């Protein structure tokens, strides 16, 4: 049976991949591109950093493109061997097969990627949806995680549903009915507290226009599911995050994550401004130097 595309049109797919290529050109380091066969389909990987560096797997945000998230952590390229996957079933060059973020599917997918590169254990960094995938990994395969950095993480606690409906879902529905770009601007503004750079806005807008968005989020974890996950975890959360607000995430994370030595709260939205990206980069470097 033919795989159903996540894109609404071939033209839309091409536009998003053009943005992907443009983003890659902005990196000032050599990035290898590798395709890995997994049990769920082909996965496109971006690989950078010294071959003898300690491995760090970086997982992108959902309904996003890999280079955008990867660009937040460029300072790590000089020290670590970076493996960044285009999340399968999301925009990018991986197969368009959608797998469940609520069971062991994503941990098995990551395990296949690690096996391809002969990595038994690694540090992990994930943003939003990608952080939720790491938490699934912590529940099912904790021995593969040396430490983890979770930025604006899903999988812990969700913000006010009424606020999400008013500030994200309603503008999205109005956009679908009227094709009003003003509604797209409302969405990216609330995601970033009016600080998203123009290139990223354009990419998010194109994804909303041309992709059948993945609406299923990683399952919220319980204390019991993470009981056997001893690796140190750092969380960076936004006080004004519409999806996963810092106050709720901090309270729940303290309850369910066994080893949480570092938690940073910043006055940012779900999508960090360039000022906070610099801080996140520095935080990740410091955490890895201490715990990896």
What percent of the chain has a predicted confidence (pLDDT) above 90?
Answer: 90
**Residues 103 and 147 both lie in one domain:** yes
2 assigned to some structural domain: no
Give the mean pLDDT of 24-41.
95
- Residue 3 has a pLDDT of 67
**Residues 166 and 154 both lie in one domain:** no
- pLDDT tens digits for range 110-121: 999 999 999 999
**Residues 227 and 196 both lie in one domain:** no
3 assigned to some structural domain: no
Parent domain of 152: 10-160+216-291
1 assigned to some structural domain: no
**Residues 182 and 271 both lie in one domain:** no
Using CA atoms, how far apart are residues 190 and 196, in angstroms rounded to an integer? 10
Q: What is the mean pLDDT of the chain?
A: 95
- Residue 2 has a pLDDT of 52
Residue 4 has pLDDT above 70, yes or no: yes
Domain count, the chain: 2
Pick the most confident of 165-179, 206-220, 257-271: 257-271
Under 8 Å between Cβ of 167 and 258:
no
Residue 245 has pLDDT above 80, yes or no: yes
| Phi, psi dihedral angles at 178 (to 5 degrees) | -120, -5
**Residues 49 and 80 both lie in one domain:** yes
**Residues 194 and 55 both lie in one domain:** no
Residue 1 has pLDDT above 80, yes or no: no
**Residues 177 and 285 both lie in one domain:** no
Residue 32 has pLDDT above 70, yes or no: yes
Look at 5-19, 65-79, 173-187, 267-281 and tell me which has the smallest mean pLDDT: 173-187
- Residue 11 has a pLDDT of 95
Give the mean pLDDT of 180-206.
91
In the three-class reduction of DSSP (H, G, I as helix; E, B as strand; rest coil), residue 51 is classed as coil
pTM of the predicted model as reported, rounded to 2 decimal places? 0.95
- Residue 172 has a pLDDT of 85
**Residues 66 and 31 both lie in one domain:** yes
Under 8 Å between Cβ of 20 and 92:
yes
Give the mean pLDDT of 19-25.
95
**Residues 236 and 107 both lie in one domain:** yes
**Residues 146 and 126 both lie in one domain:** yes
In the three-class reduction of DSSP (H, G, I as helix; E, B as strand; rest coil), residue 169 is classed as helix
CB atoms closer than 10 angstroms to residue 156: 24
Under 8 Å between Cβ of 196 and 205:
no
What percent of the chain has a predicted confidence (pLDDT) above 70?
Answer: 99
């Amino acid at each position: 049976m033919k795989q159903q595309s996540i894109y609404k049109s071939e033209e839309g797919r091409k536009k998003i991949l053009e943005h992907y290529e443009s983003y890659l050109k902005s990196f000032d380091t050599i990035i290898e591109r590798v395709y890995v066969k997994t049990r769920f389909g082909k996965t496109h990987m971006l690989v950078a950093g010294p071959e003898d560096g300690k491995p760090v797997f970086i997982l992108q945000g959902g309904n996003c493109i890999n280079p955008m998230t990867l660009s937040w952590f460029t300072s790590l390229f000089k020290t670590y061997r970076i493996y960044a996957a285009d999340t399968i079933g999301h925009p990018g060059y991986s197969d368009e097969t959608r797998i469940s973020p609520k069971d062991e599917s994503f941990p098995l997918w990551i395990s296949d990627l690690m096996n391809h590169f002969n990595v038994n254990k690694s540090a992990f960094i994930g943003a939003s949806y990608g952080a939720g995938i790491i938490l699934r990994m912590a529940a099912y395969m904790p021995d593969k995680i040396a430490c983890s950095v979770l930025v604006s993480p899903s999988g812990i606690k969700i913000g006010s549903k009424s606020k999400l409906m008013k500030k994200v879902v309603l503008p999205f529905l109005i956009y679908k009915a009227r094709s009003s770009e003003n509604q797209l601007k409302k969405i990216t503004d609330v995601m970033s507290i009016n600080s998203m750079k123009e290139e990223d806005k354009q990419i998010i807008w194109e994804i909303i226009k041309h992709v059948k968005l993945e609406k299923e989020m990683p399952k919220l974890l319980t204390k019991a599911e993470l009981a056997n996950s001893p690796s140190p975890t750092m969380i960076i959360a936004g006080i004004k995050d519409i999806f996963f607000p810092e106050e709720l995430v901090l309270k729940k994370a303290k309850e369910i994550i066994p080893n949480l030595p570092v938690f940073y709260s910043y006055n940012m939205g779900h999508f960090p401004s360039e000022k906070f990206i610099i801080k996140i980069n520095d935080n990740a470097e410091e955490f890895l130097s201490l715990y990896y």
